[in-house]
Each structure stands twice: as C-alpha cells, then as structure tokens.
C-alpha cells in the first residue's frame, strides 16, 4: 500500500496544486504572439495558458518508469493560482478561474497523431469546443479562447479526435477546469488544502510497467490487435489473440485491472478531523463506479457536473459514470487520530449485458476478454486516514445555491420530446440507427437557439445482436449546454439490475453527462441559449465514442 504524508499527498493530488509539471518558461515570448492565430478571437485575456501535449516517462508503479502522454503547461498571464501543478504526475493541469473571466489557451501538439482539446461541460463557442473536424495535426497549434459563462463547478478537459479519443485519454491526457463565483464564495466551503480534486481511473500495466490498451485501432471494428504503450510512448501491435481482446474492449469499453487516483495506485488520503470538499471526476474510459463508504455512512453531495445543488443531498451511494463529476462534503471529525474510512465501489448488476456476456465466460471469454475487474464488482478506491486531530466549527450549509428547476411544460416539445434510441447493429453502437458523420447533421438534429427542449434517450434491447439480453450502460454527454434530468423509467424485465443503482443517481442539479442503464428511458430538458453552431452528443464510453456512437446537432440562430 502506497502511503503519503498529508503534505505530500496534497502536493501530489492537487488539494492546493495540480496534476502535471510546468514546462520551461516560454511565457514571455508567447504573451507577445498574435492572439487571433488559429481559433483565437483576439482581445486581452484575463488568464492565458500555454499547453503542450507531449510524451513523457513517469513513475507510477515501483520499478521501471511508464511511458505516458501528458500536458505540459506555462502560465502566460493571470494570478499564480490560475494554474496549479504537481511535478512528476502525468495528469493535469488544474486551471482555476472565476466566472466571467476570459481565458486563452495556446495549444501545441507534439504527439505523433492529431489531437484536440474539448472543454467538457463548459459553454464555449463552436470552434472552441474541440470538435474532431478541428483536430490539430502533429507539430500543429491552435488557440482556444472563450469567456467563462459557467457557474462555479468542477469541469474538465480532454482530447476529442475521432477514433483516437479513448487511447489519448488512456495514455494520460486529462485535466481539471475549476470555476468559482460570488454565490459559492458566500458559503465558506472547505478550501485550500481541504478542497481536494480526485480523478478516478482504471489502467492495466504489463510486466514492464507499461500501459496496455487493447482497444486501439482506427475506430469501429477496423482496428488491429493487442495495442500497448512502448517505451517511446508510441503504440505497438502484438496481434494474435490480442485482436480478440481488442474487439471485446471496443464493443464493451476498456476496463483496467488497477484503480488509480490522480494517477497513483493504492492511495491513502491523509486527512484531519474536519470537513473536506472532495471533487470527484470519473476519468475512466468506460468504468462505472458505485461509490460508498465502507462503513455504510451516507454520502453528502453538494454539487454535480454543472455546479452546486440547491441544498445538500444525501445518498447511500453515488453512481458515477465516465466523465461525470460529483462533489462531496466529507466530515472526518468523528474519527480519531489513525482512524480510517475507505471509499469503495460497491457491487451492482445489469451494466454489461450480464446474461449474454456470461461474466468472465460466455461471449466475453470467447472474445478474449480477460476482464479481471468487470463493471459491477466491489473494490476499494482509496482510504482516508486521520493524520491528526484538529478543531473546526465549520458546518454544512442548509442552502447552497439558487437553482430553478425545469418542468416538462417549459419545453417547446414537452408533449413529444425529441427521441434518441441507443442500439447495437452489426456489432456497432448507434444513435437512432446512425453512426458518426464528421460534417453531417440530420434534419431531426437541428434545434432553434433560445428555445427549451425535452430530449428522451432510450437504451433499447438489441434483438438478434450479441447484447440482446440486457444491452449495456451508456454515459451520455451533450456538448454546448447544461441540462436537467427530469424523468427516468425502466423496462420491468430489467428492473432488478436498475434497482441496484437507482438510489445513487443525483439528478437534483445541472448536468452535462448522465448515466442510462439497459432498458432505461431518460428525459432531459435544456435551453439552447448560449452559442449557435454545430455541437456533439455521444456516448462517453470512449471506445463506443471512437466506434461512432456520436452525432452532430445544430443550434440554429
């Protein structure tokens, strides 16, 4: 078990710092460059960051270093707290800004393949959103520039090139974007070292400590065999039966056998006897967590994807799908020095077409899927250990934020919501029978700017397909908006699995990503009031996304 001192853990995990090292200073030269290059819109930013995607060797496990891809950063302009870093860690950075700030990020791509940056959950203009058509070629650059319109919350950023997103995120390209505002400032929530971001991921390592990723290839079922990280940070094919494992991972989504928190395994979080604000991001490619304390204590949720709830919500556990965020008020005041509390992922069922896949056997075994840690099994995520006792009088606020709730009648199509059916055909995941088309928007995928709509997502069973019995869980992300989940229903024959997760949904606040179980029907409401243009909606199981379970929609002014 890897144990850090409290100060060292906070340095490594980003309680007051970020998740990657800062590159050598190029700030002076960058600040004088033309602001309008590539995607820039000109004008003086409040915060300017130079961000480079590159390759590195880092220590994750004992022994040999691991080849990863990472973001290296320089703060060109802004308060020192705007860019927080952790030397030696391969995730990050954390960009911290206030609502209303104008942000400029100068992105340079030193990777061997195209990449973009998607600002997940942020309300940015079309050309700033990191759409795959705006992929930046190797040795190319792009300027992302936007005003921060979002309320206080935990957002993040990651690559979004078509057919390559899963592999790039898996190798290490992910960071946090934390927004603060005046409403949040009045609450006196835990801050500084007591405000701890936690990125949850799962990874698989080979005997030489190198990352193994079997879902590589050029999208869909067209990829090559067993793909793994080499010492150079590139990808090499081993072919053979690895190809069947790769097929399994593309269809089901990649699941690793090691749980990492902020890029490190077997984490012990040093705490004191007081309240903490834990910001959790599910940064995994496809793993769904059912988070709960080992002693059965309820979780106190204060925020979801789009920021603070109206009031704290207690849950026996919290379901956290890929790309979802949740913020917890965690009070360790009742533990004595040396006391521990373990955050676990609890057991649940119904996420992976259990009947058809046959657990570790059945179709999963035939396809080479050695899924040592499948979705739905229980495992520890991290341990919080009290390093010392400390007095504190801070209490949980009874009211957190003003949060108006939508009703179905607020939507222009409330009586007939726009419908999106999630299915598999010929071993490809589709939305309304369609796969991704880079430059196409169907007639039923166009909405009017400044209107409120209801969208209904249906996770159907798949007659005649290998996932016929149960289907699969899908995390659905909609770009360009924040929305509210209005209603959930489930097919009676799949209710048993749904019952093991339903009490962990936190649908009380603003969302940009939601989980939909097999047989479930979810209705969301959103207002298209910020930026017109073409945006994406897709499954955030990154292997499904790379296969083409993604579509464009247009907001028409």
Condensed to tens digits (0 to 9), the pLDDT of residues 21-57 reads: 333 333 333 333 333 334 455 689 999 999 999 999 9
Q: Which one of 152, 181, 210 terminates a domain? A: 181
How far, in Å, are 13, 90, 333 from residue 6 at the CA level? 10, 20, 16
Contact partners, residue 48, CB within 8 Å, separation at least 6: 30, 31, 75, 76, 77, 78, 103, 104, 105, 106
Nearest alpha carbon to residue 124 among 51, 184, 179, 76: 179
Tokens of 143: 């300027």
Is 431 domain-assigned?
Answer: yes
At 461, which CATH number? 2.60.40.420
Question: pLDDT band at 162, cuts 50/70/90?
Answer: very high
Q: Which one of 133, 151, 181 terminates a domain? A: 181
Is 494 domain-assigned?
Answer: yes
Question: pLDDT band at 88, cuts 50/70/90?
Answer: low
Range of the domain at 120: 6-181
**Does residue 116 register a pLDDT over 80?**
yes
**Does residue 127 register a pLDDT over 70?**
yes
Q: Which one of 161, 181, 201 terminates a domain? A: 181
- The pLDDT, as a whole number, for residue 6 is 45
Is 451 domain-assigned?
Answer: yes
Q: What is the CB-side half-sphere exposure of residue 205 using CA atoms within 13 A?
A: 21
- The pLDDT, as a whole number, for residue 529 is 97
Is 499 domain-assigned?
Answer: yes
> Which pairs with CB-CB distance under 8 Å and at least 24 residues apart come from 312-315?
312/396, 312/397, 312/398, 312/400, 313/506, 313/508, 315/503, 315/504, 315/506
Backbone angles phi and psi of 222, in degrees to 5: -95, -5
Q: For residues 181 and 12, which has the higher predicted lDDT (pLDDT)?
A: 181
3-state secondary structure of 299: strand
- The pLDDT, as a whole number, for residue 85 is 75
- The string of pLDDT tens digits covering residues 272-305 is 999 999 999 999 999 999 999 999 999 999 999 9
Question: pLDDT band at 461, cuts 50/70/90?
Answer: confident
Is 149 domain-assigned?
Answer: yes
Ordered strands of the 340-345 beta sheet: 268-272, 379-388, 340-345, 289-293, 318-320
DSSP string for 450-514: T-EEEEEEEE---TTSTTTTT---EEEEETT--EEEEEEEE-GGGHHHHHTTGGG---SS-BSEE
User: What is the spatial distance between Cα 10 and Cα 19, in angstroms, rounded to a whole number?
Assistant: 11
Which residue in this structure is represented by tokens 């055909």?
425
Is 66 domain-assigned?
Answer: yes
Nearest alpha carbon to residue 477 among 417, 421, 545: 545
Q: What is the CB-side half-sphere exposure of residue 17 using CA atoms within 13 A?
A: 18
- The pLDDT, as a whole number, for residue 229 is 46
User: What is the spatial distance between Cα 104 and Cα 108, in angstroms, rounded to a whole number?
Assistant: 13
User: What is the spatial distance between Cα 15 and Cα 490, in angstroms, rounded to a whole number?
Assistant: 39
**Does residue 181 register a pLDDT over 80?**
yes
- The pLDDT, as a whole number, for residue 81 is 96
Is 284 domain-assigned?
Answer: no
- The pLDDT, as a whole number, for residue 20 is 36
Is 64 domain-assigned?
Answer: yes
- The pLDDT, as a whole number, for residue 460 is 83
By percentage, how much of the chain surpasses pLDDT 90?
76
Mean local confidence (pLDDT), 111-117: 99
How far, in Å, are 232, 301, 494 from residue 235 at the CA level? 8, 40, 39
272 burial via Cβ count (<10 Å: 0-12, 13-18, 19+) = buried
- The pLDDT, as a whole number, for residue 191 is 96
Tokens of 339: 């006391």
Mean local confidence (pLDDT), 64-90: 90
User: Is the overall model pTM greater than 0.85, yes or no?
Assistant: yes
Tokens of 78: 């802004």
- The string of pLDDT tens digits covering residues 489-527 is 999 999 999 999 999 999 999 999 999 999 999 999 999
3-state secondary structure of 14: coil
- The pLDDT, as a whole number, for residue 465 is 54
List the single range of 247-251, 262-266, 363-367 with lowest mean pLDDT.
Answer: 363-367
- The string of pLDDT tens digits covering residues 426-443 is 888 999 999 999 999 999
* 8 A C-beta contact, residue 384 and residue 340: yes
Handedness of CA 5, 297, 377, 252 (dihedral sign): negative
Tokens of 528: 């298209």
Mean local confidence (pLDDT), 145-149: 98
309 sits in which H/E element: strand 307-315
Per the structure, how many domains does the chain have? Answer: 2
Mean local confidence (pLDDT), 209-236: 52
């Amino acid at each position: 078990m890897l144990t850090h001192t409290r100060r060292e853990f906070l340095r490594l995990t980003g309680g007051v710092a970020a998740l990657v090292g800062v590159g050598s200073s190029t700030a002076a030269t960058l600040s004088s460059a033309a602001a309008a290059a590539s995607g820039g819109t000109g004008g003086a930013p409040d915060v300017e960051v130079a961000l480079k995607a590159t390759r590195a060797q880092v220590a994750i496990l004992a022994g040999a270093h691991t080849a990863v891809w990472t973001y290296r950063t320089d703060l060109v302009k802004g308060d020192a707290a705007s860019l927080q870093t952790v030397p030696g860690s391969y995730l990050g950075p954390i960009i911290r800004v206030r609502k209303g700030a104008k942000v400029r990020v100068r992105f340079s791509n030193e990777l061997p393949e195209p990449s973009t940056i998607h600002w997940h959950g942020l309300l940015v203009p079309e050309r700033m959103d990191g759409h795959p058509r705006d992929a930046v070629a190797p040795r190319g650059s792009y300027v992302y520039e936007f005003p921060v319109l979002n309320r206080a919350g935990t957002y993040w950023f990651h690559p979004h090139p078509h057919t390559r997103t899963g592999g790039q995120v898996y190798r290490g390209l992910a960071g946090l974007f934390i927004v603060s505002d005046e409403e949040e400032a009045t609450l006196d929530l835990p801050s500084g070292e007591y405000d701890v971001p936690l990125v949850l991921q799962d990874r698989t390592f080979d005997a030489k400590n190198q990352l193994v990723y079997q879902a590589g290839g050029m999208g869909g079922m067209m990829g090559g065999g067993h793909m793994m990280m080499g010492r150079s940070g590139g990808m090499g094919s081993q072919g053979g039966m690895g190809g069947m494992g790769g097929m399994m991972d593309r269809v089901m989504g990649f699941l690793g056998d090691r749980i990492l928190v902020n890029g490190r395994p077997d984490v012990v979080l040093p705490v004191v006897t007081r309240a903490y604000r834990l910001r959790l991001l599910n940064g995994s490619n496809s793993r769904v967590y059912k988070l709960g304390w080992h002693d059965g204590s309820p979780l106190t949720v204060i925020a979801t994807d789009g920021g603070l709830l109206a009031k704290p919500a207690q849950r026996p556990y919290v379901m956290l799908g890929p790309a979802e965020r949740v913020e917890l008020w965690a009070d360790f005041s009742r533990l004595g020095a040396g006391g521990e509390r373990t955050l676990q992922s609890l057991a649940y069922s119904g996420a992976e077409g259990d009947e058809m896949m046959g657990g570790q056997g059945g179709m999963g075994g035939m396809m080479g899927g050695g899924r040592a840690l499948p979705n739905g099994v229980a495992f520890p995520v991290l341990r919080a250990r009290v390093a010392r006792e400390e007095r504190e009088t801070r209490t949980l606020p009874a009211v957190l934020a003003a949060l108006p709730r939508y009703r179905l009648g607020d939507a222009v199509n409330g009586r007939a919501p726009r419908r999106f059916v999630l299915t598999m055909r010929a071993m490809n995941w589709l939305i309304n029978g369609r796969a991704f088309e880079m430059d196409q928007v169907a007639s039923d995928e166009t909405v009017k700017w400044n209107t409120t709509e209801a969208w209904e997502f249906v996770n159907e069973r798949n007659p005649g397909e290998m996932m016929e019995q149960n289907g699969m869980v899908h995390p659905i992300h909609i770009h360009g908006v924040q929305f509210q989940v209005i209603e959930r229903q489930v097919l009676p024959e799949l209710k048993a699995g749904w019952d093991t997760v339903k009490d962990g949904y936190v649908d009380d606040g603003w969302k940009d990503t939601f989980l939909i179980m097999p047989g479930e029907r979810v209705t969301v409401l959103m207002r298209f009031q910020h930026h017109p243009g073409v945006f994406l909606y897709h499954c955030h199981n990154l292997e499904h996304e790379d296969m083409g379970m993604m579509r464009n929609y247009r907001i028409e002014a």
